[in-house]
Amino acid sequence: KGEPLRLAMHYAKLSFEDFRFSGREEFMSMKESGELKFGQVPALIVDETTTLVQTAAIARYIAKLSGPDCGLYPEDPLTAAKVDAIVDQVSDMMCCILCAKYQDRFGFEEALGGMHGEGTKKVEHAIQTSVMPRHLGLFESLLEASSTGWLADTEKPSIADFIAGCQLSDLASNPMVKGPELLPRFPKVVAH
């Protein structure tokens, strides 16, 4: 979830330190110390007293720092709402995968039977045959309707393009989705 933020900062020509954990122990230490709000990454340390979390919130902050000429977040409230809706749609699309992958975090381990349980197999089948094709079809339709090639039909790429683009790209290698089989049915999504 950090990649769209890195790409947006590069695009906006904002300088930043790209910190990567040396291992899981370092992440767990920061999580347990409370250094990471919500115990999650990505996180953006703004100054000694402020750390931002959650991809969409950080993306909006980056966009506002970069200014209106950069185009990452539209000034027009209606266009900004369209960008927000696409970002929210990406989150909706990923919910099923996150719940199936992190069953203990979401309370589904018993119901799904663990990563190799019968419930998980049924969820994966639904993801591959109905859930993900529906979501990918929505993104394909947005791109078909766009006169600019950007998801929200903005003049320049918005945070929605960076967030959706990275997430859609990641689906290609996600075994729950079977991306190599599914994604070719959505050529505009693949090209985005």
Q: What is the structure's pLDDT at 40? A: 84
Confidence band, pLDDT 50/70/90 cuts, at residue 30: confident
Q: How far apart are CA 97 and CA 20, in angstroms?
A: 24
Residue from 20, 23, 11, 64 nearest 42 by CA: 20
Range from 3-7, 42-46, 57-61, 130-134 carrying the lowest mean pLDDT: 42-46
Q: How buried is residue 189: exposed, middle or buried, by Cβ count under 10 Å (0-12/13-18/19+)?
A: buried
> Is 116 strand, coil or helix?
coil
* Whether residue 68 has pLDDT greater than 90: no
Could you tell me the two tokens for 80? 């900004």
In this predicted model, what pLDDT tens digit does every residue of 73-108 receive, in sequence order? 999 999 999 999 999 999 999 999 999 998 998 999
Residue from 187, 98, 189, 82 nearest 135 by CA: 189
> Is 46 strand, coil or helix?
strand
Confidence band, pLDDT 50/70/90 cuts, at residue 116: very high
Confidence band, pLDDT 50/70/90 cuts, at residue 15: very high
